[in-house]
Amino acid sequence: MKKYAALLALLAFVSVLAAGLGTAAPQGTVMVKETNFKIIMAGTAKAGSTTFVVKNASNLPHDFAIKGPGVSKKTPKIKPGGTARLTVTLRKGKYQVWCSVSGHSSLGMKRTISAV
Ligand SMILES: [Cu+2]
């Protein structure tokens, strides 16, 4: 009986976690958080169709641009607290990601990621 209660508690906890994330991130999804002035994300992504889910966690507008093998795309400007999605097809190799709002990349909003 005690085990059952523990299991129920665990299930409830997992449900809360899942709700907190909206839906569970499907394969090929990369979460990105933008602040003043950093792009926080994993340094590698899987080659193939990939959706970047970009959350602007700052008080300034930002966007998210990506350029590399076969890809040159960016989101519209994302307002503070907003989220944008950008779907691209990554090939194996290196990609530059940055914020194209004037001056932001030189303040630190740029990095290189690898598709593997
Ligand atoms: Cu920016």
Cα(101) to centroid(ligand 1), Å: 5
Residue 21 has pLDDT above 70, yes or no: no
What spacing in Å lies between the alpha carbon of 34 and ligand 1's midpoint?
8
Choosing among 3.90.25.10, 2.60.40.420, 3.40.50.1700, 3.90.660.10, the CATH entry for 25-115 is 2.60.40.420
Check pLDDT > 60 for residue 12: no
* Residue 76 alpha carbon to ligand 1 centre in Å: 11
pLDDT, tens digit, 9 for 90 and up, residues 92-102: 999 999 999 99
Judged against a pLDDT cut of 90, whether residue 6 lies above it is answered with: no
- Residue pair 60/82 in contact by the 8 Å Cβ criterion: no
* pLDDT value of position 17: 45
The mean pLDDT of 10-36, rounded to a whole number, is 66
pLDDT value, residue 8: 47
Per domain, the residue ranges of the chain are: 25-115
